[in-house]
């Protein structure tokens, strides 16, 4: 059985001097987090409200949840239907304590069992004492609250047993339908599919099922760019106007570099929103996106900050097209998918009948529904294609075996990035670092009815690939569980020594 951290139940206040109304029990999976800032009356009030709100979210029915929000808060955007969707995404979380607070906002630690970790819920304070605090966001964190411990590391046999149990457990409560693969190098240690690819036809998911993967497709675009860098056809520090000479906004064309796009530091903005919704049917090529968004000025000066930009990866795809002389899809098919043996991966339109492509389902019972109306016409250089977990393992083997990039070029992709004007370093969008597990290459992706995660840890050689035909968070609930428990050998994050 897998080993989960169990924190003792703590029926104590989180800081001295908290009003009695704020002295709410801490959930069993939470430590008594000590705030680094003073616990003000406003912070105590938000703490009490948030604790009660999450309790209703976890134990009450839908009418009780809606009544609580209307009467007490917090202030939420949009409609009651959206509030219920938010409830679905946040259910299971528990408030752990105060992270920080000031005159404008209060940040609370929450434990998220779905992501097997902690997050911070940020609430904005109203201008008047009687105004409801606004929920601004809930964001996952790599660090943990004071007093918390990270999950115990497991030797490989125990890790595989734990991952299998985790996936079984999530599937049993209707929180996971998809496929899981764990490998070390070329050796597959565990692979299994769960749930249904098509509920109407009772067609099960298999290891050959093709799952939509959202932003995971950005990895292919990044590799394509570095292949062209390797060939001497692209310079990372060149302004994008060198490769897109007719780009409408001259400010972006002359100041935003290829490296800015790879790090989301160019201020090029997103593609989703009212304009996308109004023009979705006509966005068939990457050039169509440029025609729609190309006159839009940068949101900030390049290198000033980082802001996730799907449009930036659309522009990278256009650069691949102008430099290679063909379409982005044709390039990655020949130079990535074919080279790595990824026969089940592609960006074919949704209108193309693919018998092995899973139906995407958003929501949960009793509101579970097909996500067809939300799907893009086809995948792009910003993501949205489909693959199997096995193909993502082949992609990693193609990279680490240097069939896709030479060793020095792969190192450039892993270690390269942009230094912001404030001095901080932003790496290329091709992985990250997980405390205790080390550096990994990969990417996550998600949209209504699709969820995916790929992480290949460089120290241990372990690859975790999880895909799901359910909402974001579904794949991560298994992938992060595995990543948090990777074995640690004598040299740090790496294979545990053989017994």
CATH for 396: 3.40.710.10
On whether residue 485 sits in a domain, the answer given is yes
* Separation of CA 364 from chain center: 20
Closest Cα to residue 219, out of 61, 392, 374? 392
Of 3-7, 135-139, 175-179, the range with the highest mean pLDDT is 175-179
| pLDDT at residue 3, rounded to an integer | 25
Q: What average pLDDT is seen over the chain? A: 89
On whether residue 275 sits in a domain, the answer given is yes
| pLDDT at residue 159, rounded to an integer | 97
Domain identity same for 367 and 220: yes
Domain identity same for 221 and 95: no
Domain identity same for 310 and 441: yes
Domain identity same for 93 and 222: no
Three-point CA angle 22, 25, 26, nearest 5°: 110
Of 74-78, 145-149, 234-238, the range with the highest mean pLDDT is 234-238
Q: What is the distance between the alpha carbons of residues 389 and 210, in angstroms, rounded to a whole number?
A: 8
| pLDDT at residue 150, rounded to an integer | 86
Of the chain, the percentage scoring pLDDT greater than 70 comes to 90
Domain identity same for 99 and 237: no
DSSP 457: E
Cβ 459 vs Cβ 493: under 8 Å? yes
Domain that holds residue 65: 20-141
The DSSP H or E segment spanning 108 is: strand 105-112
Alpha-carbon radius of gyration of the chain:
23
| pLDDT at residue 113, rounded to an integer | 86
Query: Pairing between strand 488-489 and 462-468?
Result: unpaired
| pLDDT at residue 4, rounded to an integer | 24
Query: Pairing between strand 450-457 and 462-468?
Result: antiparallel
Domain identity same for 230 and 128: no
Q: Say which residue, 27 or 385, is predicted with more confidence.
A: 385
The DSSP H or E segment spanning 180 is: strand 178-184
On whether residue 153 sits in a domain, the answer given is no
In the structure, what pLDDT confidence band is assigned to residue 149 with cuts at 50, 70 and 90?
confident
Q: What is the distance between the alpha carbons of residues 349 and 385, in angstroms, rounded to a whole number?
A: 9
Q: What is the distance between the alpha carbons of residues 303 and 385, in angstroms, rounded to a whole number?
A: 30
Domain identity same for 24 and 128: yes
Residues pairing with 440 in the sheet? 432, 457
| pLDDT at residue 147, rounded to an integer | 83
| pLDDT at residue 498, rounded to an integer | 31
Q: What is the distance between the alpha carbons of residues 150 and 2, in angstroms, rounded to a whole number?
A: 14
On whether residue 192 sits in a domain, the answer given is no
| pLDDT at residue 366, rounded to an integer | 80
The DSSP H or E segment spanning 230 is: helix 218-230
Model pLDDT for residues 378-434, shown as the tens digit of each residue:
999 999 999 999 999 999 999 999 999 999 999 999 999 999 999 999 999 999 999
Three-point CA angle 114, 117, 121, nearest 5°: 90
Domain identity same for 262 and 355: yes
For residue 467, what are its two tokens? 């895909």
Query: Pairing between strand 196-198 and 187-194?
Result: unpaired
Domain identity same for 220 and 91: no
Query: 499 pLDDT exceeds 60?
Result: no
Rounded to two decimals, what is the model's pTM? 0.86
What is the chain's length?
Answer: 499
Contacts of 339 (CB under 8 A, 6+ apart): 398, 403, 404
Return the exposure string of 20-36: e unless at least 16 CB atoms fall within 10 Å of the residue's CB, then b. eebebebbebbbbbebe
Query: 2 pLDDT exceeds 80?
Result: no
On whether residue 495 sits in a domain, the answer given is no
The 10 Å Cβ neighbour count of residue 95 is 26
CATH for 26: 3.10.450
Domain identity same for 121 and 264: no
Last residue of a domain, which of 123, 141, 159?
Answer: 141
Residues pairing with 198 in the sheet? 203
For residue 35, what are its two tokens? 């705030």
- Mean pLDDT confidence for 303-321: 97
Model pLDDT for residues 341-374, shown as the tens digit of each residue:
999 999 999 999 999 999 999 988 888 999 999 8
Query: 497 pLDDT exceeds 50?
Result: no
Q: What is the DSSP string of 256-285?
A: -BHHHHHHT-S----S-SHHHHHHGGG--S
Query: 267 pLDDT exceeds 60?
Result: yes
Contacts of 15 (CB under 8 A, 6+ apart): 34, 35, 39, 98
On whether residue 151 sits in a domain, the answer given is no
On whether residue 258 sits in a domain, the answer given is yes
DSSP 335: I
Residue 85, CA atoms < 13 Å, CB-side half-sphere: 14
| pLDDT at residue 376, rounded to an integer | 83
| pLDDT at residue 35, rounded to an integer | 54
Domain identity same for 240 and 107: no
In the structure, what pLDDT confidence band is assigned to residue 325 with cuts at 50, 70 and 90?
very high
* Separation of CA 77 from chain center: 22
| pLDDT at residue 9, rounded to an integer | 22
On whether residue 160 sits in a domain, the answer given is no
How many domains would you assign to the chain?
2
For residue 18, what are its two tokens? 């908290």
Give, in order, the Cα–Cα distances in Å from 212 to each of 185, 218, 251, 337, 394: 25, 13, 35, 16, 17
In the structure, what pLDDT confidence band is assigned to residue 492 with cuts at 50, 70 and 90?
very low
Last residue of a domain, which of 141, 169, 185?
Answer: 141
Residues pairing with 204 in the sheet? 196
Domain identity same for 123 and 250: no
Last residue of a domain, which of 141, 171, 201?
Answer: 141
- Mean pLDDT confidence for 83-111: 91
């Amino acid at each position: 059985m897998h080993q989960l951290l169990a924190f003792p139940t703590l029926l104590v206040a989180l800081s001295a001097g908290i009003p009695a109304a704020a002295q709410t029990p801490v959930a069993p999976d939470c430590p008594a987090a000590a705030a680094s800032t003073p616990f003000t009356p406003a912070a105590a009030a938000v703490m009490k409200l948030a604790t009660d709100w999450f309790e209703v979210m976890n134990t009450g029915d839908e009418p009780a949840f809606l009544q609580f929000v209307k009467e007490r808060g917090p202030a939420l955007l949009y409609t009651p239907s959206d509030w219920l969707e938010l409830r679905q995404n946040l259910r299971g979380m528990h408030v752990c304590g105060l992270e920080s607070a000031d005159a404008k906002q209060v940040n609370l630690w929450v434990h998220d069992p779905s992501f097997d970790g902690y997050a911070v819920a940020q609430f904005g304070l109203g201008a008047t004492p009687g105004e409801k605090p606004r929920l601004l966001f809930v964001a996952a964190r790599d660090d943990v609250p004071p007093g918390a411990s990270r999950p115990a590391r497991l030797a490989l046999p125990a890790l595989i047993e734990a991952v299998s149990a985790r996936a079984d457990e999530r599937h049993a409560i209707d929180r996971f339908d998809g496929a899981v693969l764990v490998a070390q190098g070329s050796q597959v240690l565990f692979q299994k599919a769960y749930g249904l690819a098509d509920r109407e036809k009772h067609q099960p998911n298999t290891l050959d099922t093709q799952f939509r993967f959202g932003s995971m497709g950005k990895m292919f675009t990044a590799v394509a760019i570095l292949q062209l860098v390797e060939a001497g056809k692209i310079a990372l520090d060149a302004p994008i106007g060198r490769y897109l000479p007719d780009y409408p906004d001259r400010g972006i064309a002359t100041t935003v570099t290829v490296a800015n796009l790879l790090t989301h530091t160019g201020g090029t903005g997103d593609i989703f929103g009212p304009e996308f919704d109004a023009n979705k049917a006509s966005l068939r090529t990457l050039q169509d996106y440029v025609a729609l968004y190309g006159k839009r000025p940068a949101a900030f000066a390049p290198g000033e900050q980082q802001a996730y930009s799907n449009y930036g990866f659309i522009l990278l795809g256009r650069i691949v097209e102008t430099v290679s002389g063909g379409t982005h899809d044709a390039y990655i098919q020949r130079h990535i998918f074919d080279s790595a043996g990824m026969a089940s991966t592609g960006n074919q339109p949704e209108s193309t009948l693919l018998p092995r492509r899973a139906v995407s389902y958003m929501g949960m019972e009793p509101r579970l529904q097909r996500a067809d109306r939300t799907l893009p016409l086809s995948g792009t250089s910003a993501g949205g294609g489909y693959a199997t977990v096995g193909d993502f393992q082949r992609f990693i083997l193609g990279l680490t075996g240097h069939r896709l990039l030479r060793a020095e070029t792969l190192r450039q992709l892993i270690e390269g990035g942009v230094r912001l004007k404030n001095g901080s370093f932003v790496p290329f969008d091709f992985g990250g670092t997980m405390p205790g597990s080390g550096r990994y290459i990969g990417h996550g992706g998600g949209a209504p009815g699709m969820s995916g995660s790929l992480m290949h840890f460089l120290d241990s050689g372990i690859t975790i690939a999880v895909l799901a035909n359910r909402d974001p968070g579904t794949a991560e609930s298994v992938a992060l569980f595995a990543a948090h428990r990777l074995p640690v050998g004598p040299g740090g994050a790496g294979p545990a020594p053989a017994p």
